[in-house]
Chain A
């Protein structure tokens, strides 16, 4: 498959289970090694030497926020990435506070992830990557485990983020609201690349197992 994410684009990556959505996101961050082909992020080809530079550009929000929130407090989780960037403690504090304010979750700052609701965990997981100021964002099933209220909140938040995004999802309503481009995957291959009206082509969607 071959595609480019441009400035201002929000791509919905859709496909049946096992189509390769998550694998594609993991490959883009260098977590999964590709057998062939190239991945280029902001002009930097992804390889062993550039992997850290590439990861600084990408903010990947995992499907399960529990995988992303592993520190005792939300503050520490958000600060984790900034610390790995080698930032001084004062700047880390500023970045964490800014991110919490941006997402309206300042009340979660000193709380443990173990005590948060699904929606709060999801927002905290987004904050962990936003604090690193990535060039673009990738979401893996962002609406999974969320109730309708949390989903509405998330939709508004994701829409407000100016970064270009790739969103792997099964949630067509969410994708239609947030994304301006659709890529359909099947068995690890790119089957279609178009605009949101693609969602309404039911025959095509059924053909792709959706």
Chain B
């Protein structure tokens, strides 16, 4: 569990990197991530093919930022059950056949199921990559610069901190429990209730102490840096490139255009 706690902070540690993408202005990165997610969410539930070109964004970001794929994939797997259960009902209720492959009918429900999975994959990857190239302090600062209400910024930051505290407390409680439970592995069902209750109380108490420590060091979200780094030419270039590509892929069917292009090419070859 200790290594799991450490893993929680791996993305934040990666955010301290020094690649080109790490140096992009945080507000620009926040904005482009938002544009990417909104564009993806705006597609029809059967438009799985139209989503394929968007893979360019997480793929490029991953390569440029040197973020290891397993680190991202592990976190995506946490979100997978949610979208899986959200999409499974589509297969059951939307049974109208869309097309057939080798005599097997593929329903619209199956297409929308895979669209949900792929859409979630893209969005989660987009967010994870944003977190892995932008330190938390810069994310919250950008949120404040974009005039996100104070309460949302605090909730975001505190929730993030609380997850770590919860893991750490659970770790020390689990060790204390294991040392006094004779030979059995895991927590016995009869102890689960009191364990969870104690964990909640302990983590609340600890979270409060951490919050006190934060307040003692001026945490009040009232002072924005007087001369924050302004966006440079490369930041603007990044912003316009990503937004331009997102919008182009949204309003033009790149797959169809690419297909036509290939078709035309082979047609000319055959002649």
Using a CB–CB cutoff of 8 Å, the interface residues on chain A facing chain B are 26, 29, 31, 52, 55-56, 58, 60, 62, 64, 66-68, 70-73, 75-76, 79-81, 83-89, 110, 112, 114-115, 128-129, 132
Contact = CB atoms under 8 A, between A and B. Distances in A.
A67 B209 contact: yes
Interface string B152-172: 000000000100110010000
Nearest to B226: A86
Nearest to A125: B213
A129 B218 CA distance: 10
A85 to B, nearest CB: 6
A49 to B, nearest CB: 12
A59 to B, nearest CB: 8
A55 B215 contact: yes
Given A114-B5, A114-B6, A89 B168 contact: no
Contact of B227 (A88, A112, A129): A88
A112 B226 CA distance: 29
Nearest to A62: B213
A84 B216 contact: no
Q: What 5 pairs across the A-B complex have the smallest Cβ distances?
A: A84-B218, A81-B217, A86-B223, A72-B12, A72-B9
Nearest to A87: B225
Interface in B206-249: 206, 209-210, 212-220, 222-229
Contact of A66 (B13, B141, B168): B168
Interface of B: 2, 5-6, 9, 12-13, 15-16, 135-137, 141, 161, 164-165, 168, 206, 209-210, 212-220, 222-229
A67 B161 CA distance: 11
A31 B215 contact: yes
Contacts of A31: 212, 215-216
Given A72-B9, A76-B137, A110 B16 contact: yes
23 contacts: A29-B216, A31-B212, A58-B216, A62-B209, A62-B213, A68-B213, A70-B164, A76-B137, A79-B137, A84-B218, A84-B219, A84-B220, A84-B223, A85-B218, A85-B223, A86-B226, A87-B225, A88-B227, A112-B13, A114-B2, A114-B6, A115-B6, A132-B217
Contacts of B13: 72-73, 112
Contacts of A84: 217-220, 223
A81 B135 contact: no
A55 B213 CA distance: 11
Contacts of B136: 71-72
A83 B137 contact: yes
B217 A67 contact: no
Given A31-B212, A66-B168, A88-B227, 19 more contacts: A29-B215, A31-B216, A55-B217, A60-B213, A64-B209, A67-B206, A68-B210, A70-B164, A70-B165, A70-B213, A80-B217, A84-B218, A84-B219, A86-B225, A87-B225, A88-B225, A88-B228, A112-B9, A129-B217
Contacts of A81: 217-218
A58 to B, nearest CB: 7
A29 B216 CA distance: 7
Given A76-B135, A84-B220, A112-B6, A67 B213 contact: yes
B260 to A, nearest CB: 49
B47 to A, nearest CB: 38
B6 A60 contact: no
Contacts of B214: 70, 80
A128 B168 contact: no
A55 B216 contact: yes
B6 A80 contact: no
Contacts of B225: 83, 86-89
A127 to B, nearest CB: 12
Nearest to A129: B217
B201 to A, nearest CB: 16
Contacts of B218: 52, 55-56, 81, 84-85, 132
Contact of B210 (A70, A85, A112): A70
Nearest to A30: B215
Contacts of B222: 52
Contacts of A83: 137, 141, 225
Contacts of B165: 70
